Structure 1
Amino acid sequence: MLKHPLSKLFAFAAVGVLSQAAMAYDGTINFQGEIIDATCSVAPGSQNKTVQLGKIVSRTLTGLGSTSTPVDFTIDLLNCDTASAKNAQVTFSGTADGTNLAIANSGQTVAAATGVAIQLKDSAGNPIKLGVASPSYILGNGTNSLQFKANYLATKDSVTVGPANGMAQFTVAYN
């Protein structure tokens, strides 16, 4: 009688071992992050974003210093605690055009637009130079959306047509 329950146990064990062998790995998921000591954390959707400046008619940029209509974008901060800091400033960096005021056009094709750069502005519409901190944004506890603008800026009297793309990194400082 003992032989029968023992054989059932061995049968179940054998099925379990064989079913493990049938499961194969189809891929790997890597998880990345960092635990920081800061007033806020940058929302994941703000860490790597794309701002669409649109298709701008070349005659809109009528000469040196002329601009396209600004496009709004935000950098969202999460879990802010104003006990340690009340304000945030954002510093943008990247490849600058010749005047260091704006982001250089990084169009990678032979037909890339020329005479144009991408200008960054604060929420009031004032230009922000690359490498220079923005004006202070007052923080509240919880979630905060820092408002910015971007537009094309003519860096020469004439602008040629083609892709006009750029990239900037940003750093948030709290005070």
Structure 2
Amino acid sequence: VVSTDSQNQEVVLGQVKKNIFKAIGDKSVSKPFQIKLEDCDITSQTKVNVSFAGVGDADDATLVSVNTEAGAATGVGIGIYDNANKLVEMNTGKSTTTLAAGQTVLYYTANYVATKDTVTTGYGNAEVDFNLSYE
């Protein structure tokens, strides 16, 4: 069961100066977040797979696109990384963790990633859903 405080999270990446993005792939500082699972019964299933679903960035579909609202930043997407700092590709990737009996905490980070040589300032908002499957 997903803990109540892990549902509908807001991960604030904060304001980032555009001059840190000098080339495609440059990243902002990572911001951590967690997904807490409670009442984990490991008698029949011992692993959880987590995938993330959202609008893929037009220039790099492994990242989530920032919303295209008026005043939005351009040239950046958002990457989500597992606790080994491996990118969990948007809509296609997954991270797998062994469950602990009772509570399991899954650790992730998110950051802005340059998808173009030129980044413009603006809002960097996005929405991402996470999906769990067990094995």
Question: By the TM > 0.5 criterion, same fold?
Answer: yes
State TM-score, norm by structure 2: 0.95
* Root-mean-square deviation (Å): 1.1
Q: Of 48, 53, 64, which aligns to 1:103?
A: 64
Unpaired segments of 5 or more residues in structure 1?
1-40
Following TM superposition, the consecutive aligned residue runs of length 4 or more in structure 1 with deviations greater than 6 angstroms are none
* Structure 2 segments unaligned to the other structure (5+ residues): none
Whether contact under 8 Å (1:122, 1:134) holds in the other structure is: no
Give the conservation status (yes or no) of the 8 Å contact 2:52–2:129. Answer: yes
- 1:89/1:125 Cα in 2 relative to 1: closer, same or farther (>3 Å)? same
Is 1:63 equivalent to 2:44 in the alignment? no
2:34 touches 2:108 (CA, 8 Å); kept in 1? Answer: yes
Q: 1:113, 1:162 within 8 Å by CA — same for their partners in 2? A: yes
Structure 2 letter corresponding to 1:42: V
Aligned to 2:74: 114
Q: Which residue of 2 aligns with 1:159?
A: 119
Other structure's SS at 1:136 match: strand
Match of residue 13 from structure 1 = none
Alignment of 1:124 with 2:84, yes or no, is yes
Identity score, percent: 32
How many correspondences in the alignment? 134
Task: Name the CA distance, whole Å, in 1 between partners of 2:66 and 2:10.
Answer: 15
Contact (CA 8 Å) 1:89, 1:133: kept in 2 or not? no
| Displacement of 1:153 | 0.5
What TM-score do the two structures reach when normalised by structure 1? 0.74
Q: Deviations over 1:105-153 (max 9, x none)?
A: 10522x2110011111111111111122423111111111100110001
Larger helix share, 1 or 2: 1
- Is the aligned partner of 1:142 residue 2:114? no
Partner amino acid, structure 2, of 1:106:
N
Mapping of residues 3-18 of structure 1, within 5 Å = none
Inter-partner Cα distance in structure 2 for 1:87 and 1:170: 16
Q: Which residue of 2 aligns with 1:29?
A: none
Instruction: In structure 1, give the amino acid aligned to 2:69.
Output: Q
Match of 1:9 in 2: none
Q: Quick one: which amino acid aligns to residue 159 of structure 1?
A: V
Equivalent residues of 2:22, 2:117 under 8 A apart: yes
- Select the residue among 35, 39, 42 that pairs with 1:82: 42
